[in-house]
Amino acid sequence: MRAMVIKEFRQLLRDKRTLGLLVGLPVILLVVFGYAANFNVSKIPTVVVGPEAAESAAQLHAPFDVTEVDPVGNRATVESRLQDGKAAVGIVTGQNPVTALMDGTQLFAVQAAKGAFARMAQADVATGGKIPVIAPEVLYNPDLKTSWIMIPGLTGLILLFIGTLITSLGIVRERQAGTIEQLAVMPFRPWDVIFGKILPYLLLASLDLIAIVLLGMGLFGVPFVGSVVTFGIGALLFLLVTLGMGVLISTVSQNQGQAIQLAIMFVVPQILLSGLIFPVGAMAAGVRWIAYVLPLTYFVDISRGVMLKAEPIAGLWVPLVVLLGMAGAVLGLAVLRFRRDLAPSARHRGEDDFEPVAAAA
Amino acid sequence: MQYLVGARSATIRFGDFTAVDRVDLEVGSGEVVGLLGANGAGKTTLIRMLLGLLIPTRGSVSLFGGRPSRATRRRLGYVPQSLGLYDDLTVGENWAFTTAAFGIAESTLPESVAGYRHELVGDLSLGLKRRLAFAVAFSHDPGLLVLDEPTSGVGPLSSSHLWEDIRASAERGTGVLVTTHNMEEAEQCDRLVVMAEGRVVAAGTLGQVIGDRHVVQVDCADWRGVFAALDGDGLIVQVHGSRLRVPGTPEHVAGLLHRHDLGGDVSAVPANLEEAFVDIVTKASPR
């Protein structure tokens, strides 16, 4: 048995990726659950409008973080800020009762705000009732249904799964079987092989996306109030990032096991840190930046924004541009690396080095 | 004239390791050229260079008179060691994929594999898989066939069928470059190029490669005793029935037998390809 144990350790020490997974994953989970796994929102971006905006804003304390005070603004101003995600709560003054509009897609922020309003009212009663009555009104997800905010995000997770894991496995399988070498000597252009390989997954992921959205609408009553085109553009850009990652993973993996390991390392942090489960705003600042380099974070913004809030394309330009940049960088790098596998002659040297071999006359 | 495929002083290095070292090689129309060498001699690396899958560090290669490219590969049939077939597709689907890739509008599955049209390739025997790989490589009537260890792991009957196909193809004018370490197969080639440690150590027809090499044949009653003695003296001994064949001179072998108090008729006979190959490779690789 001693020989077996020594052999196993020797193999394990040579397998850097498994070693990385053994050491890296517990560290990631510790960081995530220690700093990021937090449902308590401590800062709620809040906008206050109307003739008594300044006075009302002065009465708001943590967790409310007043980002804008607009004495000439009205309900429409608040709705606009909530729709494009600049605020989670908006207080409309100058009417009785004062209305607190809340973004129902930010489930935990709304729950924290409701709690804070209740505490304020309780404290006000104790001190003689100086603060006007606040009537909360939740927009976009009035019943605060978890399924309404989860399903738009889950569409992203499905695209991530197909784009990254299934694509990388599909390409690595060709390498393992030796058929990629056969493809390289067939009269295909490298682009034929690359896009011929990617397009089926793009189509499959698109069909899956449509199915999950329809199922979400049918089974859970999730609304789709925004533009299908905007949603489609966001989904396509996100899918291009994930497909690029899939191809990139395949170019550095010798077998399907390695591809699965790398895909897990790419997918798991996105599930935990993209805002799909834990709100990005509630994460410690030290780990929040990780959320901003993960593509799923931006797709979750887009899918929730379009499906639940009818956010227009102009309001989503930041996540769309970030995904476009990521897609260009990742897919470009992936295609270059894959192309090098298929056609090394693309890196040909100077023409002077080439000399056709001919028989003596 | 230009050769179908050729290498001129082709060299490839991976770090400090020279896998192929200044190799010259040509294959013309209708000829079968055997690339002979032990495992690790550099045969597959050379083939990958000729196909454009690896770039020579020095020297040059040409395919149909030009750089390996999409246009030149259209005239190429290639069977890699791994066969390049999709195990999870049927015979018919593999055939359809390849013929479509080569732009063949209408094609009929060859008779040799037609009966297995609906079978998954992964379920076929290795012999059948090789037959299909050959059929696929022949599908577009290529000008050049490159076959890497084409009969590795198949029985003598399948091997014989595959060689019939190779010869028939060459008779139609196709050039064939075939790697092997099987001497019987190598003897069926028109020309041989012997590689050892990345270099060409012999080239020419079968007769030219063997040259005037001779080995010593020992006819004896106690062949087991003689085998043990000569093997113990470090000679490479081949057994043919009750006859033994060893490299060296009759005088030297007779002296060894005498030292061991063993008898036998000792004579010099022309070497066969295997004996010549061992001699060539041993001299080229003193380690």
> What confidence tier does B149 reach under pLDDT thresholds 50, 70, 90?
confident
| Interchain CB distance below 8 Å, A345 and B52 | yes
User: Where do the domains of chain B lie, and which CATH numbers do they carry?
Assistant: 5-210 (3.40.50.300), 214-270 (3.30.70.790)
| Interchain CB distance below 8 Å, B74 and A189 | no
> What confidence tier does A261 reach under pLDDT thresholds 50, 70, 90?
confident
| Interchain CB distance below 8 Å, A348 and B55 | yes
Predicted pLDDT at B1: 53
> What confidence tier does A350 reach under pLDDT thresholds 50, 70, 90?
very low
**At residue A31, does pLDDT exceed 90?**
no
B249 phi/psi in degrees, rounded to 5: -110, 155
**At residue B259, does pLDDT exceed 60?**
yes
Q: How far apart are CA A241 and CA A323, in angstroms?
A: 7
Q: Which residue has the higher pLDDT, A190 or B253?
A: B253
Predicted pLDDT at A42: 78
> What confidence tier does A266 reach under pLDDT thresholds 50, 70, 90?
confident
**Beta strand pairing call for A98-103 and A89-92:** antiparallel
> What confidence tier does B2 reach under pLDDT thresholds 50, 70, 90?
low
Alpha carbon distance, N-terminus to C-terminus of chain A: 70
Q: How far apart are CA A54 and CA A61, in angstroms?
A: 13
**At residue A70, does pLDDT exceed 80?**
yes
A185 vs B contacts (CB less than 8 Å): 51-53, 73, 76, 78
Residue A345 · residue B67 · CB < 8 Å: yes
Here the ipTM equals 0.79
What does the pLDDT look like over A240-249, one tens digit per residue? 999 989 988 9
Q: What is the mean pLDDT of residues A20-44?
A: 77
What does the pLDDT look like over A309-326, one tens digit per residue? 888 998 899 999 999 999
Tokens of A20: 């990385």
Alpha-carbon distance values, A192 to B85, B96, B277 (Å): 19, 17, 44
What does the pLDDT look like over A171-188, one tens digit per residue? 888 888 888 888 888 888
Q: What is the mean pLDDT of residues B23-35?
A: 94
Q: Which residue has the higher pLDDT, A126 or B97?
A: B97
Alpha-carbon distance values, B115 to B109, B118, B157 (Å): 9, 8, 19
> Mind telling me how many Å the CA of A176 is from chain B's nearest CA?
10
Amino acid identity of A124? D
> Mind telling me how many Å the CA of B156 is from chain A's nearest CA?
25
Q: Which residue has the higher pLDDT, B263 or B191?
A: B191
| Interchain CB distance below 8 Å, B84 and A355 | no
For residue A296, which of A358, A221, A218, A237 has the smallest C-alpha distance?
Answer: A237
Predicted pLDDT at A227: 94
Residue B10 · residue B42 · CB < 8 Å: no
How many percent of chain B have pLDDT more than 70?
Answer: 98
Q: Is residue A185 less than 8 Å (CB to CB) from chain B?
A: yes
Amino acid identity of A264? I
Cα torsion B172, B174, B175, B177 to 10°: value is: -110
As a whole number of Å, the CA-based R_g of chain B is 22
Predicted pLDDT at A129: 67
> What confidence tier does B158 reach under pLDDT thresholds 50, 70, 90?
confident
B86 vs A contacts (CB less than 8 Å): 177, 179
Predicted pLDDT at B180: 85
**At residue A346, does pLDDT exceed 60?**
no
Cα torsion B76, B81, B85, B86 to 10°: value is: -140
How many percent of chain A have pLDDT more than 90?
Answer: 18
**At residue A256, does pLDDT exceed 90?**
no
Alpha-carbon distance values, B150 to A110, A153, B10, B62, B134 (Å): 70, 52, 24, 23, 9
| Interchain CB distance below 8 Å, B68 and A345 | yes
CB pairs under 8 A between A and B: 90
**Average pLDDT in chain B:** 89
Q: Is A95 strand, coil or helix?
A: coil
Q: How far apart are CA B47 and CA B150, in angstroms?
A: 13
Alpha-carbon distance values, B184 to A319, B47, B151, B273 (Å): 66, 21, 11, 9
B93 vs A contacts (CB less than 8 Å): none
Which residue do the tokens 């997770």 mark?
A157
Centre a 10 Å sphere on the Cβ of residue A8 and count the other Cβ atoms it contains: 10
Q: Is residue A352 less than 8 Å (CB to CB) from chain B?
A: no
Read off the DSSP letter of residue B60: E
